[in-house]
């Protein structure tokens, strides 16, 4: 059974949690394949709100097997807390499993994340401080600690000893900070291993068997395309492959397991942290969108920077991800604006460019067309035909520009606040 992939196409927080939840109803498996607890994926059901950091968003539907894949990184302290929170909200987490090959975030990674940011001064990235970057750094340096190392106390002892000696040199000599204690961390992590023991699996065989048994598998991206380590706005990016290419790398599957590449974009843009943002709105309208869209980070609570929809960036993201279908979220947030701008070109050094440059600079500015807004509240609408004409014009413009079909439009954070634009196609894909 060919699988579906859901990825964010902007700088994160597009509503991947909400959409993954929607697709999970008809999925046997939901797999997170990159990133760690830097994510915050929200799902609203009636008056309950679940914020998933590492646990795949399929967990809210009972019976869905949720796997944190080999390409993701696991902070056991944060994960145990997340599992406990979910259980306390009545969610069954017995089907949450973790790949033995996944790398483990250690306390020294969180400290390094913080110290490296401090050292960058004004050039800081604005990371989530969860230690994600340093965990991936150790993985690439081949000194990382994998989940399976944690399960073998002798191996863990040796690897941890080596790492703490090394990190203490860095802490004291480079950052002029205090060293950390081996024993405390060793004991703490042995306890985490005990708590999580039954959740560790050989994810590769599990996923391949599921595929051959015709199970419906959904891959849930975290972060988003413009934060991709290779193709994002480097160095203002995260440290994993957030594009659809990352699915194979992070789950141990071949590309021909995958069929539908579903990209999610907000009807406008947001970004948390630093880095270039050509269509950023630095006036009252930006603040209005932030308040109306509740644009505050799910993980760090930081205010998100808000901007107009950037079609240059979106086209680039769709191209790299091989997107076949688009989902637009938060269209309701744009209601009541007189004029809605869409960025269709960039202005850079008095030149107009129509592509996403490798060296996207802070001083690149958007060049816009103006679309007329609509005054009605659209958050209760379920039929495409019932949307205001100007709203449909906005949607049509995006579809035409990207030459892509919009599958679904989300008009509120609630599970059922959706307009399925092409019903037969949508049900063919999800079922
Ligand atoms: P993710 O990281 O991509 O899963 O997105 P987040 O959960 O971090 O941020 C998206 C926020 O927007 C969450 O609070 C969602 O509940 C909310 N949301 C999702 N879709 C919509 C929508 O169509 N309209 C509105 N108003 N809110 C939405
Ligand atoms: P979800 O999955 C938005 C951003 C951080 C920072 C940069 C690097 O909820 O969309 P990191 O801690 O990963 O080293 O930070 O990436 N960032 C996100 N922004 N949504 C996320 O996840 C993000 N995860 C990381 O703000 O700019
Ligand atoms: Mg988020």
Does residue 73 sit in the same domain as residue 34?
A: yes
330 Cβ below 6 A of ligand 1: yes
Does residue 127 sit in the same domain as residue 145?
A: yes
Using DSSP bridges, classify how beta strands 339-348 and 103-104 pair: parallel, antiparallel or unpaired.
Answer: unpaired
Question: Does 430 fall in a domain?
Answer: no
DSSP secondary structure letters along 271-318: E-SSS--TTB--SHHHHHHHHHTT-B-TTT-PBPEEE-EEHHHHHHHH
- The catalytic site residues sit at 13, 41, 139
Q: CB-based contacts of 223: which residues, under 8 Å, 6+ apart?
A: 8, 12, 34, 35, 38, 39, 238, 240, 242
Q: Which of 153, 173, 196 is the last residue of a domain?
A: 196
The domain that contains 52 carries what CATH number? 3.40.440.10
Q: CB-based contacts of 243: which residues, under 8 Å, 6+ apart?
A: 7, 225, 228, 230, 231, 320, 321
Give the residue whose CA is nearest to atom 20 of ligand 2. Answer: 12
Report the pocket of ligand 2 as residue ranges, CB < 6 Å: 8, 11-13, 38-41, 125-128, 130, 132-133, 222-224, 227, 238-239, 272-273, 298
CA distance 11 to 302: 14
Give the residue whose CA is nearest to atom 15 of ligand 2. Answer: 127
Does residue 158 sit in the same domain as residue 95?
A: no
DSSP-assigned letter for residue 156 = H
Q: Does the annotation flag 415 for ligand binding?
A: no
The domain that contains 276 carries what CATH number? 3.90.170.10
Question: Does 236 fall in a domain?
Answer: yes
Query: Phi, psi at residue 219, to the nearest 5°?
Result: -100, 125
The total of structural domains in the chain comes to: 3
Does residue 85 sit in the same domain as residue 123?
A: no
* Ligand 3 center to 155 CA (angstroms): 35
Q: In terms of residue numbers, what domain contains 120? A: 103-196
Does residue 284 sit in the same domain as residue 407?
A: yes
Does residue 284 sit in the same domain as residue 239?
A: no
CA distance 5 to 325: 10
pTM equals 0.97
Does residue 33 sit in the same domain as residue 147?
A: no
Contact 129, 80 (CB under 8 A): no
pLDDT the model gives residue 299: 73
**Ligand nearest to the CA of residue 17, numbered in listed order:** 1
Does residue 63 sit in the same domain as residue 185?
A: no
CA distance 422 to 399: 13
Does residue 235 sit in the same domain as residue 87?
A: yes
pLDDT the model gives residue 264: 98
Does residue 180 sit in the same domain as residue 314?
A: no
* Ligand 2 center to 381 CA (angstroms): 31
167 Cβ below 6 A of ligand 1: no
Q: Which of 210, 229, 260 is the last residue of a domain?
A: 260
Contact 43, 15 (CB under 8 A): no
Does residue 188 sit in the same domain as residue 316?
A: no
Residue-level pLDDT, tens digit, the chain, 431 residues: 779 999 999 999 999 999 999 999 999 999 999 999 999 999 999 989 999 999 999 999 999 999 999 999 999 999 999 999 999 999 999 999 999 999 999 999 999 999 999 999 989 999 999 999 999 999 999 999 999 999 999 999 999 999 999 999 999 999 999 999 999 999 999 999 999 999 999 999 999 999 999 999 999 999 999 999 999 999 999 999 999 999 999 999 999 999 999 999 999 999 999 999 999 999 999 999 999 999 998 877 899 999 999 999 999 999 999 999 999 999 999 999 999 999 999 998 889 999 999 988 888 999 999 999 999 999 999 999 999 999 999 999 999 999 999 999 999 999 999 999 999 999 999 98
82 Cβ below 6 A of ligand 1: no
How many Cα atoms are found within 13 Å in the side-chain-facing hemisphere of 27?
A: 30
pLDDT the model gives residue 85: 98
Instruction: Write 370-374 long-range contacts (CB < 8 A, 24+).
Output: 370/339, 370/340, 370/341, 371/339, 371/340, 371/341, 371/342, 371/397, 372/338, 372/339, 372/340, 373/334, 373/335, 373/336, 373/337, 373/338, 373/339, 373/340, 374/335
């Amino acid at each position: 059974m060919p699988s579906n992939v859901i990825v964010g196409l902007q700088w994160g927080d597009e509503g991947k949690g909400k959409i993954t939840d929607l697709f999970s109803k008809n999925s046997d498996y939901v797999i997170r394949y990159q990133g760690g607890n830097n994510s915050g994926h929200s799902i609203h059901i009636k008056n309950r709100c679940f914020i998933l950091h590492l646990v795949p968003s399929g967990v809210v539907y009972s019976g869905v097997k949720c796997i944190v894949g080999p390409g993701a990184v696991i902070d056991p302290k944060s994960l145990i807390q997340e599992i406990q929170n979910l259980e306390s909200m009545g969610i069954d987490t017995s089907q949450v499993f973790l790949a033995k090959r996944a790398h483990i975030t250690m306390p020294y990674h969180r400290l390094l994340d913080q110290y490296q940011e401090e050292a960058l001064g004004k050039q800081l990235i604005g990371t989530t401080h969860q230690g994600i970057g340093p965990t991936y750094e150790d993985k690439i340096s081949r000194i990382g600690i994998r989940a399976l190392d944690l399960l073998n106390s002798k191996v863990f002892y040796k690897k941890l000893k080596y790492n703490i000696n090394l990190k203490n040199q860095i802490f004291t000599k480079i950052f002029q900070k205090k060293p950390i204690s081996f024993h405390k961390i060793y004991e703490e992590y042995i306890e985490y291993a005990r708590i999580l023991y039954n959740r560790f699996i050989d994810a590769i065989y599990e996923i391949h068997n599921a595929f051959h048994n015709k199970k419906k598998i959904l891959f849930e991206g975290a972060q988003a395309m413009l934060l991709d380590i290779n193709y994002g706005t480097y160095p203002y990016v995260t440290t994993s492959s957030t594009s659809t290419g990352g699915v194979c790398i992070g789950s141990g599957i071949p590309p021909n397991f995958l069929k539908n590449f579903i990209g999610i974009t907000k009807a406008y843009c947001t970004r948390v942290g630093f880095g270039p943002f050509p269509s950023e709105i630095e006036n009252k309208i930006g603040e209005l969108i932030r308040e109306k869209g509740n644009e505050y980070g799910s993980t760090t609570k930081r205010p998100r920077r808000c901007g107009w929809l950037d079609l240059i960036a979106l086209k680039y993201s769709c191209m790299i991800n091989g997107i076949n279908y688009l989902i637009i979220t938060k269209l309701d947030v744009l209601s009541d604006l007189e004029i809605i701008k869409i960025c269709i070109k960039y202005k850079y050094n008095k030149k107009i460019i129509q592509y996403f440059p490798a060296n996207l600079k802070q001083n690149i500015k958007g060049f816009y067309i103006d679309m007329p807004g609509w005054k009605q509240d659209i958050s209760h609408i379920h039929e495409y035909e019932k949307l205001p004409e100007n709203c449909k014009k906005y949607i049509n413009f995006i579809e035409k520009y990207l030459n892509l079909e919009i599958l679904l439009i989300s008009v509120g954070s609630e599970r059922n606040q959706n307009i399925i634009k092409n019903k037969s196609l949508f049900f063919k894909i999800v079922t």
